[in-house]
Amino acid sequence: MGAGRGTWGTRLGFYLAAIGSAFGLGNIWRFPYIVSENGGGAFVLLYVFLVFILGMPLLVGELILGRTTRSGVMRAIDIVLEDHKNSPNQSRVSKMKWLGIGSVVLCLIVLAYYAVISGWVLHYLTQLSMALIVNVSFEADQSLKLLLENGWLQVLLTSVHLLVVIVIVAKDVEEGIEKAVGYMMPLFVILLIGLAIKSLSLESAPNALRFFLYPDFSSLTLESLGQAVGHVFFTLSIGFGMMVTFGSYLSDRAYIPIAGFRVATMDSFISIFAGVLIFPLVMVGTAPVSGPEMLFRSVPKLFQTISNGYLFGVGFFVCLYLAALGASIGLLETIVSNARESLGFRRVRAVWVSGGACFILALLPALSTSVFQEIHIGGQGFLEFLDGLLINWGLPVAALITSQVVLYLVSDAQKKQAFELNSEEHHSSEKIYGHWIFALRWLVSPVILLALVLQVFAIFKR
Ligand code: PFF
């Protein structure tokens, strides 16, 4: 969306852009590996449950905050605080200001490590394209070894990715690209289903499906709730202020609850398909694969064995790269639009300054499997540690504060307006509004707080 604050030309435009930004590495790369770390089916069930009771209410809340203030998260908070400037607990309320700043800082750090993984995707895309076009041999394990041992290669790939994102956002064509990602998504889903069918024909499939879908609650740990909560927010892009920016472009007539429902269900479906594809592949060998490398250790091997594998491989990684690109654009655009609105930066300057900051921040995760491989924090490599810190701690806290802002600082009249019937959609909006407020008040905060407390216990138990 351009410099002036317009609204989405069509409803489809909003969906394509919102789904284009929500759908990304979180669905295909991160979801399977955290499911694997948390014992499979029970975690999947927990995740799906949380999408509905936490994810959707908060997604709707962020969209409403954006639409009522017509601003990105930093200015949106200023605006709602302005309305409460004479309230008796003003000094407590004004601390909410930190939410805006915190969300944008989260975007910056997440973009930095997201760019590193996007670089990994580019690596496989290049390797498989070379195998397809110039017949260079492709060996999945060798490719991964090359990547992990060669930190500077990761730095190079990361900078290529960041440069692409910077150029797109600086030229102000991101809406077009995000829409393109949205259009590409059905193609990706078809490809995923095709590959999943292939994967289901493997001998390991029954065991893999049992692991992925059969809920064995005894395999959950104290940290599982926090991991599931964090992942729901990450995959739906909640707590970053991105959906606030998107909401600010929604027309007054858009029926927000349905928008939230559609984005959340589409996103979850894709994650489930990714799991069905990946688990049979992961369980082929004797030693189970896990951790951030899981996707890259398993799926490329499939392309080595099936007919026309390299062609499918290139297709898969092109789609995955576009998904990573759409999400990265969403992250940088959120940082840039907030910097412009609240700090008065010009667009191009904001893009280069934040892109440059991301690059510097990305050096550490990019070098974490080579130069800094000795760095371990709490038994984890640096990349995993950073991922956990941001997603299992930072996002739940940001989401918790967001829920309070929406509940207590956005007026009831403004909230109700988002649930009003319009001529196109007929719903019993009173009832839905009641459920939504109930979820925000009685489910979101208690569940997030419980998740945080359990994680603290887990640290002390270690
Ligand atoms: N939701 C994206 C994913 O699942 O990969 C990640 C993301 C994109 C988070 C954009 C936040 C954001 F603003």
Q: Which SS3 state, helix, strand or coil, does residue 377 take?
A: strand
Number of domains in the chain: 1
Residue 210 per-residue DSSP state: H
CB 248 within 8 A of CB 69: yes
Can you tell me the distance from the alpha carbon of 195 to that of 77, in angstroms, rounded to the nearest whole number?
Answer: 45
CA of 342 to the centre of ligand 1 (A): 22
Assess if residue 6 is contained within a domain.
Answer: no
- Which residue's alpha carbon is at the smallest distance from atom 13 of ligand 1? 331
Assess if residue 289 is contained within a domain.
Answer: yes
Nearest to 128 by CA among 293, 309, 294, 314: 314
* CATH number of the domain residue 400 falls in: 1.20.1740
Can you tell me the distance from the alpha carbon of 98 to that of 396, in angstroms, rounded to the nearest whole number?
Answer: 15
CB atoms within 10 A of CB 70: 15
Assess if residue 165 is contained within a domain.
Answer: yes
- Does any ligand 1 atom lie closer than 6 A to the CB of residue 80? no
Assess if residue 407 is contained within a domain.
Answer: yes
Can you tell me the distance from the alpha carbon of 380 to that of 386, in angstroms, rounded to the nearest whole number?
Answer: 9
Assess if residue 378 is contained within a domain.
Answer: yes
Predicted TM-score (pTM) of this structure? 0.92
pLDDT for res 423:
43
Assess if residue 2 is contained within a domain.
Answer: no
Q: Which structural domain range is residue 308 located in? A: 11-461
- Does any ligand 1 atom lie closer than 6 A to the CB of residue 34? no
CA of 234 to the centre of ligand 1 (A): 6
Burial 150-167, CB ≥16 within 10 A → b, else e:
ebebbbebbbebbebbbe
CB atoms within 10 A of CB 26: 26
Percent of the chain with pLDDT over 70: 92
If phi > 0 it is left, if psi is from -120 to 50 it is alpha, else beta; for residue 237 that is left
- Does any ligand 1 atom lie closer than 6 A to the CB of residue 242? yes
Residue to mutate, 331, 335, 395, ligand 1, most ligand atoms under 8 Å from C-beta: 331
CA of 114 to the centre of ligand 1 (A): 9
The residue ranges of DSSP E strands in 337-458, in sequence order, are 376-377, 380-381
Q: Which SS3 state, helix, strand or coil, does residue 324 take?
A: helix
CA of 216 to the centre of ligand 1 (A): 29
Can you tell me the distance from the alpha carbon of 163 to that of 425, in angstroms, rounded to the nearest whole number?
Answer: 42
pLDDT lower than 70: segments of the chain: 1-6, 8-11, 88-92, 173-178, 285-289, 421-428
Q: How open is the CA angle 225-49-52, to the nearest 5 degrees?
A: 120
Burial 201-218, CB ≥16 within 10 A → b, else e:
ebebbeebbebbeeeeee
Assess if residue 3 is contained within a domain.
Answer: no
Q: Which SS3 state, helix, strand or coil, does residue 262 take?
A: helix
pLDDT for res 3:
40
Atom of ligand 1 nearest to the CA of 327: 8
Nearest to 230 by CA among 118, 395, 21: 395
CA of 21 to the centre of ligand 1 (A): 6
Can you tell me the distance from the alpha carbon of 15 to that of 361, in angstroms, rounded to the nearest whole number?
Answer: 31
Assess if residue 87 is contained within a domain.
Answer: yes
pLDDT for res 293:
87
CB atoms within 10 A of CB 462: 8
